[in-house]
Amino acid sequence: MTSTVYSPNSFLSSASECPSRHSTITEPDVFVLPVSSAQQRLWFLDQLDPGNPAYNLPVAVRLIGPLNVTALEKSFQGLIQRHEILRSTLTLQNQQPVQVVHDKRASSAFHLTVLDLRGEPRGDTPKDTDTDPRLQAVLSKAIRQPFDLSSDHLLRGTLIQRHDNEHILLLVMHHIIADDWSMGVLVQELATLYPALAANQPITLPDLPIQYADFAVWQQQQLQSGQLQPQLDYWTQQLADLTPLQLPSARARPNPPSRQGAKQTWTLSPQLTTALRHLSQKTDVTLFMLLLGAFKTLLYRYTGCPDVVVGSPIANRNQPEIQTLIGFFVNTLVLRSHLQPDLTFLNLLSQIRETTLEAYEHQDLPFEKLVEALHPDRSLHQPPLFQVWFALHNAPLPDLNMGPLTLEPLSLQPDTVQFDLSLEVMESPETLTVAIEYDLDLFDAPTIGRWFEHWQTLLTGIVAHPEQPLSELPLLPATEQHQVLVEWNKTQRNYAQVGCFHHLFEQQVKKSPRAIALVFEDQQLTYQDLNQQANQLAHYLQTLGVESGTLVGFCLERSPAMLISLLAILKAGGAYVPLDPSYPVERLRFMLQDSQIEVLVTQQHLAVEPPISTPNVIILERDQAIIAQHSPDNLKTEVTPDHLAYVIYTSGSTGQPKGVMIEHRALMNFTLAATEVYEIEASDRILQFASISFDTAAEEIFPALTQGSTLVLRTEAMLHSFSEFLAACQVAEITVLDLPTAFWQQMVIELTAKRASLPMALRLIIIGGEAVSPQAVADWQQIGAGVRLVNSYGPTETTVVAMVHDLSRDLSHDLQVSSTAPVAIGRPLPNVQSYVLDAAQKPVPIGIPGELYIGGKGLARGYLNRPNLSAERFIRNPVIEVLSDLQVAEGDYLYRTGDRVRYRADGNLEFLGRLDDQVKIRGYRVELGEIEAVLQQHPTVQNAVVMLREDSPGQKRLAAYIVLHQALKPADSLEAFVEK
Ligand code: AMP
Ligand code: MG
């Protein structure tokens, strides 16, 4: 046995000289040899999931012309004799996988599987191979056929005859013996062997200098000698603390994943191709680096994640001896970049140049060694280290001729995919072909089609202005931009100019004076009664100085008096400030103080002590006689749509509640829009459920009172149990319920468990206030038949509701049945616009999460006495220039919601959560930071974190975690401290 030194730069041995080659005693013609490190990993994966076809490597060519099948088969046998790897199997020896190289004679066992698809059905075989279902089925079956690594030929050939002069040759190898480069070697050698054998001419190919196993031996020696340690050190440092890239997928990854994949291809225009080549030359980077930079920018813009990691293949065939070999050489480079919104594309390119060159210098370390070092827990469910793949192929398989036979490469649909997303570019002299392969568990074809368009738009922007910051580069093609900004915001409705709500109400009183406006316990009020009593109080309010825009508070229990007062304030020209008497006294005092109202309407027993600054307090019982002296006739006031209609307090990031100022214009638009969308009619009987301090009460009250419907006021008893609630609704013949989502969800659970039924007259349930659980919507299908269910979404700052989504329509189209997909919040109401923008306030594409901004007629005037906060949340419309270019005249201001949403392809918005720490609990907006700040003011508290917990579904609670300076004394009640 000669000993041979293997150095990294040369393979000195020829196959026969290989030192580690030794035959087994029992089978003298069989050699047992070590495997390479990449083979070891695939062998390991195959042990975990034997026969998984994920690593079957297919290549197909179309053969046009007369074919000599025997010669073709012989050519393959020749190849098998020549390349040891093509006659190798893998097995376990001494607890280690090894490759067993079989004798050359094994080649005679190779046969092509021949299938005849001619004329089936006769004569109408589609010309196009892509659309021939029978061919595709045969190919797919052959590609998926599993290999037994220990006994099968790891190269299989199928020959499908489509016409007398047309065959498809499909070769499938297990990746453990081949890579993409090998496919080229194989096809090239075939093109030499076949014509000679077909013509019965002797043929010899130049001898192979070494065999694949020699490379494996060399690689093992290199690893054992510790030569690669510096490379391992480089990579472990380079890839420390990776952030996995969470691509915005249409669905959650199933467990286990199917890994079914699909592929789409496009061609970039010659102009763009040339421009890209120019830019790469000018900036001294390779085309690979430039395209990778653009791809990373795309991923960054989609995810907002500054740490973008992409895997990329490296042929790993630097040494000339191995360039002519078939075998699994390809290695994976993990290319990591750090992106920032203000980084220019040119700067990103320099960064990429540097990391890529460094990666090339450290390319010998087998990827699996790196995985071992960084990720000992190998999950089959998610690719290790990176989820996205990028490759540039500059040597595509050429069209070849084999004598009279022409070879055309055939593009195959992938059966399974290894990565979530792969973008591969094929370079040809004129153009670049782009192929995107994607995981069907996560993405669908239209999404990938759009993503290609985004990449193309980005590339066009980059060649025009490579000096632009990443956040400024264009992403949306004109058509998509038009769709999201204009088409989906075409909500314009010309509502007749009717002035203010109370004008409409007064018209309704004229139309139906005797219709029942209010029902409360056993009391009823007609429209005429309600109007007259409200007029009397309104006249009295005017005597107290109430005029257009004056803020008037009312703190009254749910009763006719509450509605009379509300109407009276509006009729007098004032704006109402609702104060729910069940709120903590501290909170009520704060609102009174903060709003500096001049008049307060209340009841004796409520004893809200107004601050000294409230000069006029009307106590209804006490002042009844004075009020009754006033005229019951409608008032004439100067109030216009520009005046305030109400101020509603809501929680805020300032640490204190803030008053949202809503003008009549916004309230009118909302009232008319809601009436239209909910189809409110005179025959409706609507439950007034919400606390008057929530703007949802406006959704119940205003559409009802402008349509001649009846408002039924909720009683406290109705909340004792769901059965009492439903029974009372049945008795009151309620047709419309407007419920907090959390309440409705509990009701669904109850209804399902008790098999109870809904009130007979009920036709519509509106829910809203927080994200709807998809499970509750799925369960609703069983119980809600015939009752329309609408999800309504809206911050107080945009007047009650900005978006609605008809969930029953989804259910009837079987769209929402998934109990995991987030529930949609739908499309904007009439005269409301929605924009989904990224952190740089640029529109994001369909399917990509962004922040929801709302514009249009519903916008509040701002926060009362908080100009800075108003300026922060009500911003100048950042897309107004784009809109005016598109000739759309839209509002100048948008409200920034802090809600994370995305567009579905049908234009409906999906709610994904908050961008800040605001939460909703039983309908209340709560800033967790506000509570944390209060806790931290306690002398014994060092640090505090507050969280929303939902330990059992529907049971939301706030939990505070605290670090103390010292033990709490029994007297230190933190709960009481926070409540104060
Ligand atoms: P509010 O001003 O009290 O109406 O609270 C508005 C906030 O509640 C929104 O910004 C959302 O975060 C949340 N919200 C309201 N309605 C919905 C809904 N239907 N789905 C998800 N979140 C909602
Ligand atoms: Mg709301």
Please state, rounded to an integer, the average pLDDT across all residues of the chain.
89
Q: Residue 26 — pLDDT band, cuts 50, 70, 90?
A: low
Please report the atom of ligand 1 found closest to the CA of residue 791.
19
Whether 16 shows a pLDDT value over 50: the answer reads no
Whether 199 shows a pLDDT value over 60: the answer reads yes
Residue-level pLDDT at 11: 40
DSSP letter at 147?
Answer: -
Please say whether the beta carbons of 940 and 966 come within 8 A.
yes
Angle at Cα 257 formed by Cα 256 and Cα 261, nearest 5°?
Answer: 160
Please state the rounded mean pLDDT for residues 443-454. Answer: 96
From residue 85, alpha-carbon distances to 35, 60, 234, 471, 957 in Å are 11, 20, 32, 49, 63
Residue-level pLDDT at 886: 61
Please state the rounded mean pLDDT for residues 457-464. Answer: 98
Please say whether the beta carbons of 710 and 523 come within 8 A.
no
Cα distance between residue 62 and residue 638, in whole Å: 83
Whether 537 shows a pLDDT value over 50: the answer reads yes
The tokens for 646 are 């109400």
SS (HEC) of 88-136: EEEEEECCEEEEEECCHHHHHHCCCEEEECCCCCCCCCCCCHHHCHHHH
Please say whether the beta carbons of 77 and 107 come within 8 A.
yes
Sheet holding 56-64, edge to edge: 113-116, 155-163, 166-174, 56-64, 405-410, 400-402
In this predicted model, which residue has the larger pLDDT, 20 or 51? 51
Residue-level pLDDT at 931: 81
What sections of 431-477 are H helices per DSSP?
Answer: 445-464
In this predicted model, which residue has the larger pLDDT, 674 or 25? 674
If we measure between CA atoms, which residue out of 784, 786, 794, 781 comes closest to residue 826?
794
Q: Residue 655 — pLDDT band, cuts 50, 70, 90?
A: low
Crossing angle (nearest 10°) for helices 527-543 and 620-628: 90
Minimum CA distance residue for ligand 1 atom 15: 769
Please report the atom of ligand 1 found closest to the CA of residue 803.
19
Whether 795 shows a pLDDT value over 70: the answer reads yes
Per-residue b/e over 586-603, b at no fewer than 16 CB within 10 Å? eebbbbbebbebbbbbbb
Nearest ligand for residue 697 CA: 2
The tokens for 242 are 């990776």
Residue-level pLDDT at 187: 86
CA dihedral 607, 612, 615, 618 (to 10 degrees): 0
The per-residue pLDDT for range 332-382, each reduced to its tens digit, is 999 999 999 999 999 999 999 999 999 999 999 999 899 888 875 555 567
Beta strands in 307-415, from DSSP E residues, in sequence order: 307-314, 331-338, 388-393, 400-402, 405-410
Measured in Å, residue 695 CA sits from the centre of ligand 2 at: 6
Cα distance between residue 544 and residue 777, in whole Å: 50
Count other Cβ atoms within 10 Å, centred on residue 534: 27
CA dihedral 215, 220, 226, 228 (to 10 degrees): 50
Whether 865 shows a pLDDT value over 80: the answer reads yes
Cα distance between residue 291 and residue 881, in whole Å: 30
Residue-level pLDDT at 4: 31
The dihedral built from the CA positions of residue 485, 488, 489 and 494, taken in this order, carries a sign that is positive
From residue 307, alpha-carbon distances to 238, 355, 376, 661, 886 in Å are 12, 13, 22, 42, 35
Tell me, rounded to whole angstroms, the distance of Cα 358 from its chain centroid: 34
Measured in Å, residue 393 CA sits from the centre of ligand 2 at: 53
Count other Cβ atoms within 10 Å, centred on residue 478: 10
Residue-level pLDDT at 120: 62
Strand partners, 811: none
Measured in Å, residue 795 CA sits from the centre of ligand 2 at: 4
Peptide linkage before 256 cis (omega within 30 of 0): yes
Residue-level pLDDT at 608: 67
Minimum CA distance residue for ligand 1 atom 6: 795
Measured in Å, residue 794 CA sits from the centre of ligand 1 at: 5
Please report the atom of ligand 1 found closest to the CA of residue 823.
20
Residue-level pLDDT at 816: 45
Strand 421-427, strand 710-713: pairing = unpaired
Nearest ligand for residue 804 CA: 1
Whether 53 shows a pLDDT value over 50: the answer reads yes
Identity of residue 693 = S
Cα distance between residue 565 and residue 552, in whole Å: 10
Whether 123 shows a pLDDT value over 60: the answer reads no
Minimum CA distance residue for ligand 1 atom 12: 899
The tokens for 695 are 């703007």
Residue-level pLDDT at 819: 64
The tokens for 439 are 């995981």
Determine what percent of the chain is predicted with pLDDT higher than 70.
92
Whether 5 shows a pLDDT value over 80: the answer reads no
Determine the 3-state secondary structure of 548 from DSSP: coil
Determine the 3-state secondary structure of 839 from DSSP: coil
Residue-level pLDDT at 7: 34
Residue-level pLDDT at 948: 84
The tokens for 793 are 């979404």
Measured in Å, residue 798 CA sits from the centre of ligand 2 at: 8
Please state the rounded mean pLDDT for residues 564-583. Answer: 96
Cα distance between residue 798 and residue 852, in whole Å: 12
Q: Residue 818 — pLDDT band, cuts 50, 70, 90?
A: low
Cα distance between residue 740 and residue 732, in whole Å: 20
Cα distance between residue 386 and residue 146, in whole Å: 26
Cα distance between residue 648 and residue 658, in whole Å: 8
Please state the rounded mean pLDDT for residues 885-902. Answer: 82
Whether 690 shows a pLDDT value over 60: the answer reads yes
Cα distance between residue 263 and residue 146, in whole Å: 22
Cα distance between residue 552 and residue 546, in whole Å: 8
Measured in Å, residue 795 CA sits from the centre of ligand 1 at: 6
Cα distance between residue 762 and residue 685, in whole Å: 9
Strand 516-520, strand 710-713: pairing = parallel
The per-residue DSSP string of 469-494 comes to: BGGGS--S-HHHHHHHHTGGG-----
Measured in Å, residue 507 CA sits from the centre of ligand 2 at: 28
Please state the rounded mean pLDDT for residues 860-866. Answer: 96
Residue-level pLDDT at 298: 98
Whether 904 shows a pLDDT value over 50: the answer reads yes
Please say whether the beta carbons of 210 and 14 come within 8 A.
yes
Q: Residue 607 — pLDDT band, cuts 50, 70, 90?
A: low
**Ligand 1 cavity residues, CB under 6 Å:** 650, 768-771, 791-796, 825, 897, 899, 911, 914, 920, 925
DSSP letter at 86?
Answer: G
Residue-level pLDDT at 396: 57
- φ, ψ for residue 182, nearest 5 deg: -55, -35
The tokens for 569 are 């304030």
Q: Residue 889 — pLDDT band, cuts 50, 70, 90?
A: low
Q: Which residues contact residue 885 at a Cβ distance below 8 angstroms, ignoring those fewer than 6 apart?
A: none
Residue-level pLDDT at 19: 43
Minimum CA distance residue for ligand 1 atom 9: 795
Classify burial at 912, counting beta carbons within 10 Å of its beta carbon; exposed 0-12, middle 13-18, buried 19 or more. middle
Minimum CA distance residue for ligand 1 atom 1: 795
Please state the rounded mean pLDDT for residues 83-108. Answer: 93
Please say whether the beta carbons of 327 and 178 come within 8 A.
yes
Crossing angle (nearest 10°) for helices 560-571 and 501-511: 120
Whether 503 shows a pLDDT value over 90: the answer reads yes
Tell me, rounded to whole angstroms, the distance of Cα 333 from its chain centroid: 28
Please report the atom of ligand 1 found closest to the CA of residue 796.
2
Count other Cβ atoms within 10 Å, centred on residue 186: 20
Cα distance between residue 516 and residue 350, in whole Å: 75
Minimum CA distance residue for ligand 1 atom 4: 795
The per-residue pLDDT for range 242-271, each reduced to its tens digit, is 888 889 987 788 888 888 899 999 999 999
Please state the rounded mean pLDDT for residues 102-108. Answer: 90
The tokens for 59 are 């290549």
Highest mean pLDDT among 90-104, 151-165, 407-421, 668-682: 668-682
Cα distance between residue 976 and residue 980, in whole Å: 6
In this predicted model, which residue has the larger pLDDT, 27 or 844? 844
Highest mean pLDDT among 177-181, 408-412, 697-701: 697-701
The per-residue pLDDT for range 280-330, each reduced to its tens digit, is 999 999 999 999 999 999 999 999 999 999 999 999 898 888 999 999 999
Measured in Å, residue 753 CA sits from the centre of ligand 1 at: 28
If we measure between CA atoms, which residue out of 747, 756, 746 comes closest to residue 953?
746
Classify burial at 583, counting beta carbons within 10 Å of its beta carbon; exposed 0-12, middle 13-18, buried 19 or more. middle
Mutate which of 908, 912, 925, 926 to test ligand 1's pocket (most atoms within 8 Å of Cβ)?
Answer: 925
Identity of residue 208 = L
Cα distance between residue 188 and residue 397, in whole Å: 9
Determine what percent of the chain is predicted with pLDDT higher than 90.
68
Radius of gyration of the chain (CA): 37
Nearest ligand for residue 790 CA: 1
Measured in Å, residue 768 CA sits from the centre of ligand 1 at: 7
Cα distance between residue 379 and residue 302, in whole Å: 25
Cα distance between residue 158 and residue 496, in whole Å: 73
Nearest ligand for residue 793 CA: 1
Whether 946 shows a pLDDT value over 90: the answer reads no
Strand partners, 658: 650
Whether 653 shows a pLDDT value over 60: the answer reads no
The region of weakest confidence among 127-141, 569-583, 621-635, 745-759 is 127-141
Residue in the block written with tokens 């093509």: 86
Tell me, rounded to whole angstroms, the distance of Cα 813 from its chain centroid: 22
Measured in Å, residue 806 CA sits from the centre of ligand 2 at: 17
Please say whether the beta carbons of 573 and 637 come within 8 A.
yes
Task: Please give the helix or strand (H or E) that residue 941 lies within, else none.
Answer: strand 941-952
Determine the 3-state secondary structure of 505 from DSSP: helix
If we measure between CA atoms, which residue out of 758, 693, 686 comes closest to residue 722?
758
Mutate which of 790, 911, 948 to test ligand 1's pocket (most atoms within 8 Å of Cβ)?
Answer: 911
Measured in Å, residue 109 CA sits from the centre of ligand 2 at: 74
Nearest ligand for residue 923 CA: 1
Please state the rounded mean pLDDT for residues 926-943. Answer: 81
Residue-level pLDDT at 401: 77
What sections of 11-107 are H helices per DSSP?
Answer: 37-48, 69-82
Nearest ligand for residue 745 CA: 1
